[in-house]
Amino acid sequence: MATWLIFLRGVTPSGRNKVLMAPLRTALEAAGFARVRTYIQSGNVVAESRLGQRRVEALVHEVIATSSGGDIPVLARTPGQVQAILERNPFAGADPAKTFMTLLSDVPEPERVREFLAVDYAPDRVAVVGDTVYGLVADGFSTFKANNNYIERRLRVTATTRVSNTMVKMLALGLAT
């Protein structure tokens, strides 16, 4: 069985995209996932499955739609993939509370990446490596121009963003299986 780090896009503990983690764990176990764990209320799941990446993403999406009625995009990565994301971080020496990683559903088209990188984000910085956008914010994520919605519009892929500390914690949970 493979371990999957599963990231839900736009989940909140209340409101329109409300997905409670305890019922989600139960629903995922009923759907065949093993050793299901969650980290904080913002849609981070670690689970084991014999399914491949795209099928894990589709099944988690289906489980959420059935159990809570939400249409929540889902991105899954193996611990090895998350380790590589962290290792490729061009802002690795910066304050981890100001460093963000945006996981993309696919590698974006090169022309879209060129256009995205041609924008002046100062005083913030961005980089695109494969299916990940890295961001380093000067003041805070709330003022970051390259937020999740902007990235999705510009690169035309589904995306979900996490602060570096969350990615490190998710990797640790995935490796602790």
Q: Is 49's pLDDT higher than 70?
A: yes
Q: What is the pLDDT of residue 58?
A: 98
Q: Which amino acid is at 146?
A: A
Q: Is 16's pLDDT higher than 90?
A: no
Q: Give the percent of the chain with pLDDT over 90.
A: 84
Pairing of strands 132-136, 74-77: unpaired
The reply to whether 80-163 shares the fold of 2-77 is: yes
HSE-CB for 90 with a 13 A CA cutoff: 11
69 contact partners, CB below 8 Å, separation of at least 6: none
3-state SS class at 134: strand
Q: What is the pLDDT of residue 20?
A: 85
* Both structure tokens of 34: 């093993």
Q: What pLDDT digit, counting tens, does each position of 74-126 carry?
A: 999 999 999 999 999 999 999 999 999 999 999 999 999 999 999 999 999 99
Whether residue 46 contacts residue 4, with contact meaning beta carbons closer than 8 Å, is answered with yes
Q: Is 15's pLDDT higher than 80?
A: no
Instruction: Could you please state the CATH topology (level 3) that the domain comprising 80-163 is classified under.
Output: Alpha-Beta Plaits (3.30.70)
Distance CA 142, CA 156 (A): 22
Q: Tell me the domain boundaries of the chain.
A: 2-77, 80-163
DSSP E strand stretches across 9-158: 34-39, 44-49, 74-77, 99-104, 125-129, 132-136
Orientation of helix 164-175 relative to helix 79-87, angle to 10°: 140
Q: Pick 14 or 24 by higher pLDDT.
A: 24
Q: Which CATH class is domain 2-77?
A: alpha beta
